[in-house]
Amino acid sequence: MECGIIGLQGVGKTTLFTALTAHSVSVQVGSMKPNVGIAPIPDPRLAKITEFIVTQKVIPATLQVVDLPGVPSGGSNLNAVLAHIRNVDALCQVVKCFDDCDAASDIASMDSELIVADMVVVEGAIDKASRTAKHGDKEAQKRVDVLTRVNALLEEEKPSREGTWDESDRAILKSYGIMTSKPMLYVANVSEDDVNGETEHAKFVEKYAKENGGESITVCATLESEIAELEKDDQKEMLQSMGLSEPAVGPLARALNTLLGLSTFYTAGEKEVRAWPIPKGAPAPQAAGVIHSDIERGFIRAECYSVDDLFTLSSEKAIKEAGKLRSEGKNYTMQDGDVVNFLFNV
């Protein structure tokens, strides 16, 4: 699954992308092609596991982020940019909140572009589905119902994510690439002297997100990009001097993971301790398949316990003695923070 970083031109999207990916991608500034990279998800629980289980390697979960071209105000490139936005699973909108900025105007401009573009798609889709529905096609009738509800929201200048949708509704929205239905995280990109987001512009972003079905976070993209270039020891020293426990890209990456509808389980042993992202509500065999398709195919059962039990009881032996080690079958729904050993036979 992919999270697209969007925004108007010059708001700091690419700077944030380089911070998230720790400068591991050679970016093309100003290009109309997306920059694609993998962002590790800093996880305090993962680090804490190694206090109780000695291991050779620690591997964090990752997420794929796409730095999409800046949205221009009209112009010939707009449709190309919007096409890229339709292809990602969730959106991270960067809003400039420093120097000569107008956060409210920038968000309004972006909303307008996405809503108008969705209306064009929806109106055409309703016409086509309606013609098919007249002949009794139940799938087409369902599409007409969903699209009509979407159109009603858009006409009120509201994003379609504010609607109430079941799983089949969301599948229809995804099939049409409805941009305003995608989960949205608003990032208030602040200056180095406002890392806590105290300006009226940063506070507006937070308020707007709450009122419009999104989440928000405050980040200084320039500072985060500089921190990402440092060695670990230098990073720690710089953060301590600023009174911070971790770079802001840590909470940001975790927020993006949640935005994509993912949770995390762990495998832990002498060779490696590793975090694995899975869709929330995934059954145990699907989680096993994230590690390897053979484990899913030959799944027998999952032996698991909560990471919190490890932190409380300090060892896997103590977890077993306390009766906290569970043996779960194919119908088990994975829980965030499960530490798992999959038994399989192929």
Identify the burial level of 165 via C-beta atoms within 10 angstroms of its C-beta, where 0-12 means exposed, 13-18 middle and 19 or more buried. Answer: middle
In this predicted structure, the answer to whether residue 321 has a pLDDT above a threshold of 70 is: yes
C-beta neighbour count of 332 within 10 angstroms: 19
Q: What's the confidence (pLDDT) of residue 91?
A: 94
Distance of CA 68 to the CA centre of its chain: 15
The residue-averaged pLDDT of 92-108 equals: 94
pLDDT confidence tier of residue 248, bands split at 50, 70 and 90: confident
**Which residues are 35's β-sheet partners?**
67
Q: Find the domain containing 301 and state its range.
A: 281-344
In a domain, 53, yes or no: no
> Is position 294 within any domain?
yes
pLDDT of residue 72: 73
| Predicted local confidence at residue 243, as pLDDT | 77
Name the domain count of the chain: 1
pLDDT digits (tens, 9 = 90+) for 193-218: 898 899 999 999 999 998 887 889 99
pLDDT in tens, 254-295: 999 988 999 999 999 999 999 999 999 999 999 999 999 999
Reported as half-sphere exposure (CB side, CA atoms, 13 A), residue 316 has a value of 16
Return the pLDDT at 74.
56
pLDDT band for position 75 (cuts 50, 70, 90): low
Q: Residue 67 domain-assigned?
A: no
Report yes or no: 194 and 96 within 8 Å, Cβ to Cβ.
Answer: no
Q: What is the pLDDT of residue 301?
A: 97
Query: How far apart are alpha carbons 252 and 265 in whole angstroms?
Result: 19
175 DSSP 8-state letter: H
295 in any annotated domain: yes
**C-beta separation of 62 from 41 below 8 A:** yes
Q: What is the pLDDT of residue 4?
A: 94
Whether 40 maps to a domain, the answer reads no
In SS3 terms, 277-336 reads as EEECCCEHHHHHHHHCHHHHHCEEEEEEEEHHHHHHHCCHHHHHHCCCCEEECCCCECCC
Residue 241 has pLDDT above 90, yes or no: no
Say which CATH number the domain at 299 has: 3.10.20.30
User: Residue 31: what pLDDT?
Assistant: 72
Residue 57: pLDDT band with limits 50, 70, 90: very high
With 90 as the cut, is the pLDDT of residue 245 above it? no
Q: Is residue 330 part of a domain?
A: yes
Span 136-165, average pLDDT? 92
pLDDT of residue 53: 94
What's at 231, amino acid-wise?
E
Average pLDDT, the chain: 92
Closest by CA to 277, choosing from 293, 297, 257, is: 257
| Domain assignment of residue 326, yes or no | yes
Residue 228 domain-assigned (yes or no): no
